[in-house]
Structure 1
C-alpha cells in the first residue's frame, strides 16, 4: 500500500513511521533513565518493572513490550551508561596538557570524575548484587569486560608516548585504575570511609602520579 503524500510532497505514511519511531525511542530512553534512577535509589533487588514504569510514566505493559524482564532493562541501561561514560572521556582527550606531570594529573582527574559519576555507581551497585545472582552476573560480564578493556586502552593512550615508555606501564596503569575503583567503592559502601570527600583527591592523585611516572 502506498503512503499518502501531502501538498508539500512529503509521504505522510513515512512521516508517521518516523514519528512512531521517535516516540518509541523516547519511551525506551525514559525507561532506561528510570531504571538507572531506581537502582541508584533503592538498589537492584528492590527495583521492579512497576517501579521503573511509574518513574518513567509508562504503563507496565508498555515497558514489558520493550523489555520483557527487569534484567533485560537493567542490562540495556548498563550498556547505555558505558557508551555515555566512554564517549565523555574520549571527548576530553584532545584538551589534555602535553607535558608531565600535568598530563598524568589531568588523565587521573578524568578517571576520578568518571568513577565518581552516578553512572559508575549504577554499575557498581549492579555488580555488588551480581555476587549473589548468577544470572545477573552472567548478563553483566560482556558489558563489564568491554568497559574495563576500553578504559584501559583509553588510559594508556591518554597518558602519551613519553609515559607509555615507562617500565611496566601496563601494570602501573592497572594498579592506578584499581586503586581509584577501590577508593570509590570504600566511599560508597564502608561507613568508616564516609569522612572521605573530594578534597582528598589531590593528595591521592599525587601518589598515583608517582606510581605512574617514577
Structure 2
C-alpha cells in the first residue's frame, strides 16, 4: 500500500474529527454559553479526547476562532439553501421573510450571539467577531435583495430590506429566553405584507 493511500484515510479522519469539534463547539456555545464552552467540554461533546482536540486547536482561542468562521459559513449556507428561485409576488416575499426569520431563530444564531456577548468585553475576540459579523450582514443583505428580486435603486427599498434583517434578528433575540414561534410567525407574516407593498 502506498504512503499516499495511507495518508488519505488519516486526512479524512482528521477532517472528520475537526468537523465534529466545530459542530460540538456550536452546540456548546448555543446551550452552555461562552463560559461553559471549554475545550474539555467541547471535546467530550465531540466524542474525542482533550488531547485530540488540542491537536486540532491548541488553545481555546484557536477553537473559538475556527468556530466563529464555521458559524459564519454555516449561517450563510443556511440562508443560501433557504432562498431558492421563486416567482415574484407575495408568496415569494413571505417565503423569503420566513426563511430569514428561521435563520435568526436557529441554534447557529444562538451560538453567534454568545460570541457577540463574550466579544463585547474581550477586545481580542471582538477583533475577530466584528469583521465576520460584518461579512454575514453584507452577504445576508445581498442574498435577500437577490431572493426578493428587489430594486434597491428605488427609494426606501434598501431600508426595507435591511429592516427585514433587523426585525428577524430582534425576533431571534426574543426567542432565546422563551419559545416565541407563534408570535414570531404572526409578526413576520404581517411584515411580509408590508415589505411586499414596499417592493411593488
Per-residue deviation at 1:104? 0.9
The equivalent position to 2:100 in structure 1, one of 95, 108, 111, is 111
CA distance in 1, matches of 2:37, 2:80: 32
User: 1:3 — aligned with what?
Assistant: none
Q: Which structure is higher in RCO with an 8 Å CA cutoff and minimum separation 6? A: 2
Query: Is 1:157 the equivalent of 2:146?
Result: yes
Please give the root-mean-square deviation of Cα atoms over the aligned residues, in Å. Answer: 1.9
Gaps of 5+ in 1: 1-5, 7-11
Per-residue deviation at 1:174? 1.0
User: 2:136 — aligned with what?
Assistant: 147
TM-score normalized with structure 1 length:
0.83
1:172/1:211 contact within 8 Å kept: no
* Structure (1 or 2) with the larger CA radius of gyration: 1
CA distance in 2, matches of 1:92, 1:119: 14
Query: Is 1:178 the equivalent of 2:161?
Result: no
Alignment of 1:61-210 (within 5 A): 61-96=51-86, 98-161=87-150, 164=152, 166-189=154-177, 194=178, 197-210=180-193
1:40/1:75 CA distance change after superposition, 3 Å: same
Gaps of 5+ in 2: none
- What are the superposed Cα offsets for residues 55-74 of structure 1, whole Å, 9 maximum, x if unpaired? 22222222122112112212
User: 2:18 — aligned with what?
Assistant: 28
2:27/2:107 contact within 8 Å kept: no
TM-score normalized with structure 2 length:
0.89
1:38/1:52 contact within 8 Å kept: yes
CA distance in 1, matches of 2:23, 2:83: 27
Tell me the secondary structure at the aligned position of residue 58 of structure 1.
coil
Off by >4 Å, runs of 4+ in structure 1: 163-166
Alignment of 1:7-46 (within 5 A): 12-46=2-36
1:187/1:94 CA distance change after superposition, 3 Å: closer
1:176/1:211 contact within 8 Å kept: no
